[in-house]
Amino acid sequence: MWVLKFHGETYYVNHVNCSVPWSTKETPDNPHTKGSIKVKDCLLQIDEDNSAYISPITVFDKARIRNAKKGITRIITKNGSQLRELLKTNSIKHGPIKSIGGACSTTFYITDIYDSKNVTYLSLMITGLRVLMPNEGYYRMYDDPKYQKTSDIDLDAEVDEDY
């Protein structure tokens, strides 16, 4: 087994694939190991076969990791009107609501909820709401402007009653 140490956590894996430059650090006085390989500015992913993949970290990865540490949860729903109504009260702190096109002309509404406790409340109130996982395409599309069908939805905009 290989031993990987990342940010104070130790992982034991069967195989390591590294696609970033690394350097060595010799520790001849250490009774357990005589050296180590050091990798900086990278992302560690471990798959179901216990293989580790070390790749360059992107800006999106850094933001996702920072948000996860803060307890920010990204949600998705097809019911944008319900989501807008519940978030209008400003009692739930959230990021911008963005509409992103899906297959067959479906529109999904995605936002970040800043307190994970509010996700349970929203999931009881909005049918079809679910938490997005970081490995899903829609999770990444939220951060990428080229996938958004419209700009951020203005929750304070007045509705035109004449149509």
DSSP state of 103: G
Distance CA 146, CA 13 (A): 37
CA torsion sign, 7 to 37 to 49 to 76?
positive
pTM: 0.63
Cβ–Cβ under 8 Å, residues 66 and 74: no
| Helical (H) or strand (E) element with 84 | helix 80-87
Direct distance between the N- and C-terminal alpha carbons of the chain, in angstroms, rounded to an integer: 67
Cβ–Cβ under 8 Å, residues 15 and 30: no
pLDDT in tens, 80-112: 888 888 888 768 899 888 888 877 888 889 999
Tokens of residue 104, six digits: 């067959």
User: pLDDT by residue for the chain (163 residues), tens digit each?
Assistant: 899 988 888 999 999 999 999 999 998 898 888 888 899 989 998 888 999 999 999 888 888 888 888 889 999 998 888 888 888 876 889 988 888 887 788 888 999 999 888 888 888 888 889 999 887 888 888 887 777 654 444 444 443 333 2
Distance CA 161, CA 153 (A): 18
Question: Distances in Å between the alpha carbon of 9 and those of 12, 13, 23, 150?
Answer: 10, 13, 20, 41
Number of H helices, E strands in the chain: 4, 11
Domains delineated in the chain: 2-57 (no CATH), 71-147 (3.30.70)
